[in-house]
Structure 1
């Protein structure tokens, strides 16, 4: 058909420009491989300003990178919608619902489902839908979409890594490992499949194996986005930390593999700060902050810049803690007020969903400033961080908030409750020395004779992983 070209998936796009369709296909690759050159989609819109697909994808990219420029591309897409192909119209509707201010998440999900029903090879629409499900805290919906399109994509790169992640979030570790390994064998450069394998190994406390695997893969991360690059190194550092390796190894990863990303001219600083703060909070919960010197203060000074606020709920929570901990109480309070204001502008349905998120933010503010009783009261007697997925964090990222809760229970003498929840946690992941040390402390506080046995267990684990 004249004036129509086929994209990577074989779907029709209304454009006469070869360079436009090449840029669109390059963008697909960047999205699926968590590349750092997603801006290539802007070139597609320049090559053909009338292309609906190029413009709506460009607007989606700009909503996170430079929101003030997005409306122009949305308007351009709308003005040429009548001439667009059925595929472009379906993608337009799905993306537009996603980027509309205070849009309904379930409506956006439904529109993406329709795209994938009619155009099941479009893995970028699947990726968008999975990110949406992640922020909705609905890995079940995410898994359903992957299963829906899998029959026609069994030989495609990236699809098995995309299958693995919702399986991880649903706790189906053996299935997740099978899918991730299949994705890795299909494409050893697939950083998302690598990431999923690491998740499984880490969850199963196979820390040394996880570190060896990820360090072997690390040469393939150079083209990754700032988030994916530093997040994979975050996993490595966390394996060292949970496996009770020398804290110097954790510090080395922090300095040379996470913070060093900031030196790159195309680094996205907020993405680096998310992983850096997430790691520092783990270190501080374990009481190992002296090893890191003034690094938290340096980082807190950077994230005090409001340009980094309100980009990600998860990042906002970590910034709130960091500012409070380093004495920047006024700024931390301003951030909290801003979060509450944003919630007040949401629909009633979304306000209700975000209540747990804002309560966790308030708790992290109190925890940071040393008001432990109030922090514990805000977390509540039955806290479970997995119920806070709406902040946009994986189970592994959320688990640090469980650790904060456990530590507060122990510190404030709620020994019986602490023993109950720590023992339950150890039954799920019995290979984490830190949890055994907390349990040993609880047993000692309550005068239980098993304290010595628990201490020996902790010592044996501490010596097992990185001897």
Structure 2
């Protein structure tokens, strides 16, 4: 039996293990085609059950439905060979099955079970990390890496990537100074670690160091701008900095250059970034023209997926921005049916907060600002359940502030802006706060 770069036994040929090592590297580096590499290896070597299982998990974590044919086929192929596999490989298959059934929390628990016995299992570590991100479990994003980090050899080729992963967990858990230190250490090991760049970018955003962030991302751009999977997202961070320092007018030309051409590729993270960025630009007072139509058309092909509330939020943003009432109603109808007839963790989150968030976005587009307030204000401290990062969910805070201003509720707007300026004292926040304070109706 061959062993991977972390020293773990793998059922399959030496060529399959070589493919696994390459796929793990590319998965952590956000480059290449790890799914394609593993699919080919598993086709060439049917005994390579972990290859098929990893394909299923990667597809699910990239936004595929559990009943999608590529997912179910990969799981079936792994199941057919699992009798010759190890207990670790069986747990990987069980986790993929759980995710496919909508039990994402159970999947994370199974990956954590693997890590207790095999703390250098790179797939389990990253799969759990991504799942916690989707669930908004900030402390788990941090702690899942902290638990295994002492077991990793600093000379291992993937050690720097694990540090970059830890840096992001530290940031999401609020440990900003440590997150920056660890993230920059990861970049010293590997300047092309786009996830470590991303982690430091989050630190600079959450500590309201936008001007530093602009310099940092521009300086590191040669290492991330051509990356296949995270380049748009790191560019999104740069755009968010520009909006917050009053340079929003610079964003649209770059959106057309870096984001717009990627929409047709249907990569979910790029679709998220496109919709979120256009929405933020409009909140900042810019007109984005017909750009909404193409992003809405692409997003609405996923209106019945309901993989994550976070995705449904961005479908709502896109269809609302495009003033597509038919698309909005189709999304709401589908979401209601999913809540009534569906199952799994995301269904429960959709019922608890997702439906209200989607309805609030639709109401915002109708300028029914009081309804936006009625829907969002009571659940604002539960938004974390939809997953994503603190920086991404900040869009909802900005939408609620805009709704308060639109409804003429300056008392609420003043309170929200005072709160925001205390922890996010950006130029834009301070300007809005000053404007509200100068209004007679703010008292």
Report 1:59-458 matches (<5 A): 59-63=56-60, 64=63, 67-99=68-100, 101-103=101-103, 105-153=104-152, 155=154, 156-221=159-224, 224-226=227-229, 228-245=230-247, 247-262=248-263, 267-289=265-287, 292-306=288-302, 310=306, 312-347=308-343, 351-354=347-350, 355-380=352-377, 382=378, 384=380, 387-430=382-425, 432-446=426-440
Q: Secondary structure at the match of 1:157?
A: helix
Decide which moves more: 329-338 or 204-213: 204-213
Counterpart position of 2:25 = 29
Q: 1:302 to 1:11 in 2, by over 3 A?
A: closer
Q: TM-score, normalised by structure 2?
A: 0.90
- Structure 1 residues 352 and 48, CA gap change in structure 2 (3 angstroms): closer
Query: Paired residue for 1:462?
Result: none
Larger radius of gyration between Structure 1 and Structure 2? 1
Gaps of 5+ in 2: none
Residues 235-274 of structure 1: per-residue CA shift (max 9 Å, x gap): 01111111112x33211221112223347xxx44443221
Give the aligned length.
Answer: 433
2:44 aligned with 1:47: yes
- Label 1:383 to 1:65 Cα distance change in 2 as closer, same or farther (>3 A): closer
Q: Which has the higher contact order (CA 8 A, sep 6+)?
A: 2
Decide whether aligned partners of structure 1 residues 396 and 20 sit closer, same or farther in structure 2, where only a CA change above 3 A counts. Answer: same
Secondary structure, aligned partner of 2:160: coil
Q: Which runs of 5+ in 1 are unaligned?
A: 450-467
The CA deviation string for residues 105-124 of structure 1, in whole angstroms up to 9 with x for no partner, is: 33222211111111111122
CA RMSD of aligned residues (A): 2.4
- Deviation at 1:183? 1.2
Q: Is the 8 A contact 2:134 2:308 kept in 1?
A: no
- Residue aligned with 1:293, SS: coil
How far off its partner does 1:333 sit?
A: 0.8
Q: Distance in 2 between matches of 1:131 and 1:316?
A: 18
Q: Does the 8 A contact of 2:249 with 2:286 survive in 1?
A: no
TM-score of the two chains, using structure 1 as the length reference: 0.86
Q: For 1:80, what is the secondary structure of its paired residue?
A: helix
Counterpart residue number, 1:464: none
1:314 shift after superposition: 2.3
Q: 1:325 touches 1:370 (CA, 8 Å); kept in 2?
A: no
CA contact (8 A) 1:322 1:368 kept: no
Counterpart contact for 1:158–1:190, Cα < 8 Å: yes
